[in-house]
């Protein structure tokens, strides 16, 4: 007689192993996705510095209009289940690109307007987060904005705003002496002290958010921590000149 209990007993360990294997695979996939989001966020923060900056200085209108393809591409990706996550992240990046194009294209001579213009997408980001929609892109935008705010705060505290204005009005080949004067302003006890304080703030916020397992926290962390990398590269380039 066919013994169902015997068959069940034989199948049970196999089913358990299959479930465990599926669980391990799912955890591995999720971990990989977390680090991909973190890396992509850090990469997207660096794009405006190395790509948008020269473009917007020479062709501000082209930089502004190129926001449209970013938004269109992000929406196309969002409405496809397999690419929804990346469209979400790209939407946050498109908001940063739009704000950067407006400021660096037409208002870069006035540092006081930098943060307000960079915050142009903040109401939309808050609205999306309130609706629990677009969390990855929203947190990426907030992380990028926080990094910008901390950097601007450092400029205010160390009296670098006049140098900002001079650099924006100077021809590229005449900007380096101004950079060197600004470095001299930074390399003082006051400048170094505030640099250490604000670096500690960015590291603390970035590393604490990196501990979160949710994808939007990884996007936030990548945007915050990459600010340190970008600022560090800028300082090294100016110091080495």
3-state secondary structure of 181: helix
Token pair for 93: 């990046």
**Token pair listed for 46:** 């660096």
CA dihedral over 156, 162, 166, 168, signed as positive or negative: positive
CA distance 231 to 142: 18
Counting Cα atoms < 13 Å in the Cβ hemisphere of 191 gives 13
pLDDT for the residue numbered 241: 58
Per-block average pLDDT, block size 10, for the chain (241 residues)?
Answer: 46 43 60 92 86 88 96 95 94 96 94 95 93 94 96 94 88 78 88 94 94 91 92 72 58
Report residue 119 as tokens. 């915050």
The confidence score (pLDDT) of residue 153 equals 96
Distance CA 204, CA 201 (A): 5
Helix and strand numbers, DSSP H then E, in the chain:
12, 0
pLDDT value of residue 26: 62
**CA–CA gap between residue 205 and residue 197 (Å, rounded):** 12
Phi, psi dihedrals of residue 34, rounded to the nearest 5°: -60, -45
What pLDDT is recorded for position 213? 81
First to last CA, the chain: 88
| pLDDT on residue 240 | 63
Q: Which two tokens stand for residue 147?
A: 């990094």
What integer pLDDT is reported at residue 110 of this predicted model? 92
**Rounded distance between C-alpha atoms, residue 123 and residue 41, angstroms:** 21
* Cα 68 to Cα 57, 74, 184, distances in angstroms: 19, 10, 41
Round to whole Å and give the CA distance between 178 and 166: 7
């Amino acid at each position: 007689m066919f013994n169902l209990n015997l068959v069940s007993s034989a199948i049970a360990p196999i089913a358990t192993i299959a479930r465990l294997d599926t669980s391990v695979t799912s955890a591995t996939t999720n971990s990989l996705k977390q680090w991909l989001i973190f890396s992509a966020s850090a990469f997207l923060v660096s794009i405006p510095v190395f790509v948008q900056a020269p473009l917007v200085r020479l062709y501000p209108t082209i930089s502004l209009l190129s926001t449209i393809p970013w938004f269109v591409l992000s929406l196309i990706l969002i409405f496809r289940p397999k690419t929804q996550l990346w469209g979400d992240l790209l939407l946050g990046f498109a908001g940063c690109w739009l704000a950067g194009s407006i400021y660096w294209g037409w208002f870069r001579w006035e540092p006081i307007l930098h943060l307000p213009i960079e915050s142009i997408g903040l109401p939309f980001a808050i609205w999306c987060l309130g609706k629990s929609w677009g969390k990855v892109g929203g947190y990426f935008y907030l992380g990028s904005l926080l990094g910008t705010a901390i950097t601007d705060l450092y400029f205010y505290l160390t009296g670098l705003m006049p140098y900002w204005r001079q650099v924006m009005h100077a021809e590229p080949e005449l900007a380096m002496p101004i950079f060197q004067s600004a470095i001299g302003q930074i390399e003082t006890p006051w400048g170094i002290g505030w640099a250490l304080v604000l670096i500690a703030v960015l590291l603390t916020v970035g590393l604490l958010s990196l501990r979160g397992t949710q994808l939007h926290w990884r996007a936030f962390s990548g945007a915050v921590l990459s600010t340190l990398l970008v600022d560090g590269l800028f300082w090294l380039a100016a110091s080495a000149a």
